[in-house]
Amino acid sequence: MKNSGSANEHPADASKSGHKPKLPGCLRESFRSRHYSRRTEQTYCHWVRRFIFFHKVCHPAEMAEPEINAFLTHLAVKEKVNASTQNQALSALLFLYRHVTGREVGDLGKGSIIPTRQFFSYSFATHLLEAGYDIRTIHELLGHKDVSTTVIYTHVLNKGCHSVRGHVDRF
């Protein structure tokens, strides 16, 4: 027997059933409504999934800049991904926050006034310096035109650029 137009006729429809759509569905809908390629959708979904699992299946709405920064730093320091891979992960997370959660990453932190990419470059460089990476490596990862731009980050250690070890110093 058919149900004639009741609100429960299509329980999968979130607007009629009262259930919030799940994150993967919302993410895919955001890609498709913006006509992103399927490959971009797959790649960004991969990075979002890794971000969520890195933080022990915490929902992105419960996370902010510190969690994003921790994930990107982990990719660079522990997994040793290159800068373009890290940028791809960042782009996926920026898409997630802008188009799915409706929040700008720069607005997530309290009093954050540093533009998003500058914030992550600064944090990324700081973590690499604290881990003992040399200036040339950080310079290459950040893609600065001049190494003097990268040297600016050494002030965060309050030790100057001479405190940062090179590859030879590690042996």
Model pLDDT, residue 17: 52
Low-confidence ranges of the chain (pLDDT < 70): 1-20, 106-120, 122, 152-171
Largest CA distance in the chain: 80
R_g of the chain computed on alpha carbons: 21
Model pLDDT, residue 131: 78
Measuring CA to CA, which residue among 39, 51, 55 is closest to residue 97?
A: 51
Q: What residues contact residue 23 under an 8 Å CB cut-off, 6+ apart?
A: 48, 52, 59, 60, 100
Q: Tokens 């960004």 identify what position?
A: 44
Model pLDDT, residue 114: 43
Model pLDDT, residue 139: 77
How many CB atoms within 10 Å of residue 169? 9
Measuring CA to CA, which residue among 48, 90, 85, 95 is closest to residue 69?
A: 90
Model pLDDT, residue 7: 40
The DSSP-derived string for the chain is ----S-TTS-TT-HHHH-PPPPHHHHHHHHHHHTT--HHHHHHHHHHHHHHHHHTTS--GGG--HHHHHHHHHHHHHTS---HHHHHHHHHHHHHIIIIIS---GGGTSTT--S-HHHHHHHHHHHHHHHTT--HHHHHHHHT-SSHHHHHGGGGGGTS-GGGS--TGGG-
Model pLDDT, residue 93: 93
How many CB atoms within 10 Å of residue 136? 13
Model pLDDT, residue 37: 92
